[in-house]
Amino acid sequence: MRQPIAFLCDFDGTIGIQDTGELILTKLVFPRIAPDILTAINAKAAGSKELYSAWYSEAPPTSQEFEQLVSQAEIDPKFAVLCAEARNKQDAVAIVSDGFGAYIQRILGGENIKGIPVYSNRMDFNSKLTLSFPHYNPDCRFCGVCKAAVAKHYLRQGFYIVYIGDGVSDRFPVHVAHKVFAKDALVGICRQEGVKYTEFDSFQDILDWYKRGVLEQDKVQDLHTKCKSLVESDLGFLDRNLARSFFNI
């Protein structure tokens, strides 16, 4: 019997063809912040939790603006195929995003993709826009969602970890994974940090690898230097119940 596989997938620019989080910022948020204030916020070199909080508090979009922009987003159609294949083989798929569940839920719901755990930040439109960070590692200020912790969580359950991503926040879980599929900025990061990877264009490339059924074991697994707090961590800061019930919130 082979080892069960967990496919951990970034969303923006990976599952999503567009980077929806970036579009919201560049179309709805940044243009409404005074240039000197925006420069001051960015100069703090804070982690994404602090940056998101500062940007959105200065210029929160309305729910109508948000819905109109998000309604135009598209995903890689082969992602749904991967989900179905993994379900048939009793493997796992989870989304690991340092973006926001409000648009991930909207986009995946439109494609009728359900039942997948989603680790993301939260954005709620009530009387005013509020952000929360249910998967934030209090011992590390870099990311809103500790993607390396999610990878460690699945690793501790005995899964073979396949990580699929494209950007800067993906630099941390790729050190934990057995197999890495990378594109765009993550390719250069993997090269710079000596992480073995396979370049991909679409989820068809991941499906082709999956069908071959060969689980390579030659990649070095470790933790990024910024993630050393996870060595002895019980990972209790991850809200796993929220991730599992994502489509019911």
CATH of the domain at 175: 3.40.50.1000
Over residues 61-110, the pLDDT tens digits come to 999 999 999 998 999 999 999 999 999 999 999 999 999 999 999 999 99
Element holding 8 (H helix, E strand) = strand 5-9
Is 94 in the same domain as 169? yes
Nearest-angstrom CA–CA distance, 196 and 215 = 14
Read off the tokens for 229. 């707090």
Over residues 21-64, the pLDDT tens digits come to 999 999 999 999 999 999 999 998 678 999 999 999 999 999 99
Answer whether 0.75 is exceeded by the pTM.
yes
Question: Do residues 34 and 190 lie in contact, with contact meaning Cβ atoms separated by under 8 Å?
Answer: no
Q: How far is CA 79 from CA 15, 135, 155, 209, in A?
A: 7, 24, 22, 14
Question: Do residues 179 and 199 lie in contact, with contact meaning Cβ atoms separated by under 8 Å?
Answer: no
Range of 43's domain?
A: 20-70
> Which has the closest alpha carbon to 51: 30, 34, 78, 72?
30
Is 194 in the same domain as 79? yes
Is 28 in the same domain as 149? no
Is 87 in the same domain as 38? no
pLDDT of residue 159 exceeding 70: yes
**Final residue before a domain boundary, out of 45, 70, 95:** 70
Is 162 in the same domain as 139? yes
Over residues 196-226, the pLDDT tens digits come to 999 999 999 999 999 999 999 999 999 999 9
Phi first, then psi: what are they for 234, rounded to 5°? -85, 0
Is 120 in the same domain as 52? no
Higher pLDDT, 169 or 126: 169
Is 34 in the same domain as 135? no
Is 187 in the same domain as 163? yes
Read off the tokens for 212. 């071959």
Is 51 in the same domain as 83? no
Residues 6 or more apart whose Cβ sits within 8 Å of residue 13? 19, 166, 167, 184
Is 84 in the same domain as 107? yes
Is 86 in the same domain as 189? yes
Is 234 in the same domain as 193? yes
| Sign of the torsion formed by the C-alpha atoms of 223, 98, 86 and 72 | negative
> Which has the closest alpha carbon to 188: 204, 174, 206?
174
Question: Do residues 25 and 57 lie in contact, with contact meaning Cβ atoms separated by under 8 Å?
Answer: no
| Number of domains, the chain | 2
